[in-house]
Structure 1
Amino acid sequence: MVIELVSQAVAVLERLHPSTLLFPIKLDFRGQNRALKRHGRARSGKSVSQDLAGFVAWVNAECQRRGRTDSIPDDGRGPLTASRFRRTLAWFIRRRPRGLIAASIQYGHLHTRMLQGYAGAYESGFPDEYAFEDWLYRLECLAEDEQALTAGEHVSGPAVDTYRYRVTAANREFAGRVLTSERQARDLVGNPLLQIHHGQGMTCVLNPSTAACQLRGAIDDPLVTPDTDDCRPRCTNLVRTDRDIEHVKQQEAQLSKVVDDPLAPPIRHERERHELARLRKIVRVHGEGAGDR
């Protein structure tokens, strides 16, 4: 299982040549190199870096020749290497829906910290790449949360006070902070102020000792995360923002169509009717406190 962009890239490479390797050291379309030692060997990291440099030079030359402005800029971090694309993988794992689940399936891991096994060992550096993307993502979410609160967004649920405190304190503590190494991010994401996790129609203000869901990791693990797909309605870590309620209303509208369908099977109809009542109660309770903004 890979992300769609990788699947498309692999499909293109497979159409470009008949080799069983995506990046062979030499292409042989006519069988002229059958006597070549280690025929079919994959390209080395050094040769891939050289290819990347050549590709960048070609793109930039074409952009200049055609008067385009979308060339590939120098990011100041040195030459492009294959290992640097791990940040792209980390971005997709952290930011795309169910990205962590996809990574767990693809690499055989069960928890975020198990990603340390990627590329063989922790020395691969990938856990730090992921932690850095996690750090950036959480700061972006907190900035959005603070902006919404400042604009008057209503928040309901048992963890409201903790949510407001963490959003305000985290932005005051971490906004604008510069990290000198990616490994620092791994240490910082365990900070309690950053333990706000947004799910579908809900927000978890995580306190591992009182969480009702199945946690990913041990309670004493500083990088433990909640299972937002298994949120329990009575959990004391739960809050709902106006943005969450909009998602709940969308679910409500979809279920209303099922409940109103006279041809729906009785068992499904009864199950969805109870779920619809639960969603309507969530919207109603949230709205009842909207005047306390």
Structure 2
Amino acid sequence: MTWVNNECHLLGRSDHIPEDGRDRLKASRFRRTLAWFIRRRPRGLVAASIQYGHAHTQMLQGYAGSYESGFPDEYAFEDWLYRIECLSDDEQALSSGEHVSGPAADTYRNRITAANREFAGRVLTKERHARDLLGNPLLQIHHGEGMTCVLNPATAACQLRGTMDDPQVTPDTDDCRPQCPNIARTDRDIAYVRQRAAELADIVADPLAPPIRHERERRELDRLKSIISNHERGATDT
């Protein structure tokens, strides 16, 4: 703590570690930090599962030996905070005219509007309440790379992480299936798709690319171009 605070002072930072009257720092007090990294860092759940040797739900419910450790509630609270932040960003983007395409576009817009009305400004007094609220269908919106999952566990085409009756069930956005009816694509998603399409176009245009790779990437490029075209056509129609 002394070292961190000295560094903050030297660098002119205000995010030092304050005295809280709870004696010295120890490993068990970093559970909230662990929960933050697991939820917000890319593939944090995968990294945590590897480190602790557990599957998704086993890791969350078995950390430190039992549910009484409090860690599942702390993770749920971090998940709640993250989803509310994303909800605020999504609602602001929609209000600014962001276009949304894909089979779940209407559901996405309805959920964002309803969830903002339901949860904006809500304050939780106890961490365990977050776990119950996470099961609300209005909060089942998960952003991936080039797509947004408006999760309906009953129709999801991917392998879900957790059981359908688990309030913390999440989709496997790394294994998103193109035919899934839960997919929506925002303008932000399409920006990523355009970037990926440009990378594939370079490969397809390379005369030295192996034929098998050339054909595979050409098919994927055609698929991405179709996604972009459908999104742009819908934006024009509206």
Q: Same-fold call, TM > 0.5?
A: yes
TM-score, L = length of structure 1: 0.75
For 1:54-95, what per-residue CA distance to the aligned partner results, in whole angstroms no more than 9, with x for missing partners?
x37x936x94xx795636253868555532211111111111
What letter matches 1:129 in structure 2? E
Q: Percent identity?
A: 72
Bigger mean CA offset, 214-223 vs 199-208:
214-223
Q: Which runs of 4+ in 1 moved over 6 A?
A: none
Q: 1:69 to 1:136 in 2, by over 3 A?
A: closer
Q: 1:291 to 1:75 in 2, by over 3 A?
A: farther
For 1:186-230, what per-residue CA distance to the aligned partner results, in whole angstroms no more than 9, with x for missing partners?
111111110000000000000001111111122222221111111
Residue pair 2:5, 2:17 contacting (<8 A) in 1 also: no
Distance in 2 of aligned mates of 1:141 and 1:282? 23
Residues 94-243 of structure 1: matches in 2 within 5 Å? 94-112=39-57, 114-243=59-188
Residue pair 1:113, 1:127 contacting (<8 A) in 2 also: no
Structure 2's unaligned 5+ residue stretches are: none
Distance in 1 of aligned mates of 2:17 and 2:111? 37
Q: 1:155 to 1:71 in 2, by over 3 A?
A: closer
Compute the displacement of 1:126 (Å): 1.0
Residue pair 1:100, 1:112 contacting (<8 A) in 2 also: no
For 1:21-57, what per-residue CA distance to the aligned partner results, in whole angstroms no more than 9, with x for missing partners?
xxxxxxxxxxxxxxxxxxxxxxxxxxxxxxx5xx37x
What letter matches 1:105 in structure 2? I
- 2:236 maps to 1:291: yes
Residue pair 1:94, 1:134 contacting (<8 A) in 2 also: yes
For 1:243-281, what per-residue CA distance to the aligned partner results, in whole angstroms no more than 9, with x for missing partners?
000000010010011101000111111111101111111
For 1:124-143, what per-residue CA distance to the aligned partner results, in whole angstroms no more than 9, with x for missing partners?
11111111110000001010
Distance in 1 of aligned mates of 2:141 and 2:153? 12
What letter matches 1:151 in structure 2? S
Distance in 1 of aligned mates of 2:15 and 2:127? 27
Q: 1:215 to 1:71 in 2, by over 3 A?
A: closer
Compute the displacement of 1:112 (Å): 4.0
Structure 1's unaligned 5+ residue stretches are: 1-51
Bigger mean CA offset, 164-173 vs 145-154:
164-173
Residues 3-82 of structure 1: matches in 2 within 5 Å? 52=1, 55=2, 59=5, 63=9, 70=14, 72=16, 74=18, 78-79=22-23, 80-82=25-27
Residue pair 2:52, 2:59 contacting (<8 A) in 1 also: no
Q: 1:158 to 1:74 in 2, by over 3 A?
A: same
Q: Residue in 2 aligned with 1:280?
A: 225
Q: CA RMSD in A?
A: 2.3
SS at match of 1:289: helix
Residue pair 1:202, 1:239 contacting (<8 A) in 2 also: yes
Larger relative CO (CA 8 A, sep 6+): 1 or 2?
Answer: 2
Q: Residue in 1 aligned with 2:203?
A: 258
Distance in 2 of aligned mates of 1:192 and 1:244? 22
- 2:18 maps to 1:84: no
Distance in 2 of aligned mates of 1:102 and 1:170? 30
Residue pair 2:131, 2:167 contacting (<8 A) in 1 also: no
What letter matches 1:86 in structure 2? R
